Amino acid sequence: MKPPYPAHARPSASDPVDGVLLVDKPQGLTSHDVVDRIRRRFRFRKVGHGGTLDPMATGLLVILLGRGTRLSDRVMASDKVYEGVMRLGVRTDTEDVDGQVISETDASGVTEEAVRAAMARRVGDLMQTPPMISAVKKGGMPLYKLARKGQTVERTPRLIHIYDFMLLGYEPPRARFRLSCTKGTYVRTLCADIGEELGCGAFLESLRRISAGVFHVSDARPLAELLEMEPAAFLDCAIPVHRIHWGDEHGAHVG
């Protein structure tokens, strides 16, 4: 059977572009799912991403193409901005909407001022313990694999920094927020910890990544749209490596 790809989209000694592709990830897919679909559709040899988004999350996923995969560490190290919804009064075993409910508490007495104050107390340097449902490794084993076996192990807290944690709206029991933070921040754990402080529990109901360093979701294309493109149009959406200029450890710009 003749393959549905033109010659320049087939595997070769080098990929047709070395760069970065900004994808607006839909809910329900893992970051690896997105990488795999792009690799298979356009026959790239090297495809990666610059920072995982959980399946329940949407928004900016930085896809790295060809030699652009060498930028992985730099993109992953960049600061992130998210918008999301925290649901008060319910605890889940994963700290997000994908988990099983383990308890419910009346949160009707929690005021907007109390939520805002709890968020403000987390601005600055913060030691955060990774959740069991995470890719952090313990003894060479990802925590989520241990969690699937019913195991809970001690985890070492990690230093993160919260630049801003803003309450965008409060309609009990839901609080909409905008968060600016360093890499490695578990937003669902922030929500769960706030719920504990408020005495009612909480979980992350929805999450959308707005930016990662210099890259913004407003410049991203929906995955479904990208997968429908002809190879030439797809390649036009990529930002070539030579257009990305890295400054200090916190910055870069596209020129």
Domains and CATH numbers, the chain: 7-77+213-254 (3.30.70), 80-211 (3.30.2350.10)
**CA distances from residue 172 to 9, 11, 179, 204 in whole angstroms, order as listed:** 51, 53, 19, 14
Q: Give how far the C-alpha of residue 249 lies from the chain's centroid of Cα atoms, to the nearest Å.
A: 20
Banded pLDDT at 14 (limits 50, 70, 90): low
**CA distances from residue 47 to 62, 83, 90, 202 in whole angstroms, order as listed:** 11, 27, 38, 36
Whether the predicted pLDDT of 118 surpasses 80: yes
The reply to whether 18 belongs to the active site is no
Q: Which of 18, 54, 96, 193 is catalytic?
A: 54
- What percent of the chain has a predicted confidence (pLDDT) above 90? 74
Whether the predicted pLDDT of 12 surpasses 60: no
Torsion region of 225: left, alpha or beta (phi above 0 gives left; psi -120 to 50 gives alpha):
alpha
Banded pLDDT at 54 (limits 50, 70, 90): very high
Section 239-244 average pLDDT: 87
Read off φ and ψ for residue 223, nearest 5 degrees.
Answer: -60, -45
